[in-house]
Structure 1
Amino acid sequence: MAVTPITGMLRRRLVLDLSIGLGIGFTMANVFWYGFHLPRTHARDNFYTKLEAKRAEEAKE
């Protein structure tokens, strides 16, 4: 009974694991950045822009 060599399997598995890990990491980073961070940043910026305009309007009166 012959044992199959494992020469290329370790390298192939390592490349597969790294590819999957980096792919999932990149995908989740984009989901966070474009799905959470940017909308919250835009909402914050809009709030302070409106607040600044309101204060400027009140200062004119």
Structure 2
Amino acid sequence: MLIYNMWPMWVIVVAVFLYLSIKSYKERNAKDVIILMTVVIIFSFLTVRSVNWLYGWNIF
């Protein structure tokens, strides 16, 4: 599937949102941290699932 071949872009998305969530945490903006970390978790899960699908690794 095409969506699974996009996992390198998802790694960049996870890194950017993780950076933004750490920055928001340092600024003590809890609402933004919750939203950004939710996005990080979702995209991390999608990245792991896509790598599993492409390479046949059975992580989960």
TM-score tier (shorter): 0.3 to 0.5
Pick the structure with greater CA Rg. 1
- Greater share of residues in helix: 1
Output the TM-score relative to the length of structure 2: 0.45
Which structure has more relative contact order (CA 8 Å, sep 6+)? It is 2
Output the TM-score relative to the length of structure 1: 0.45
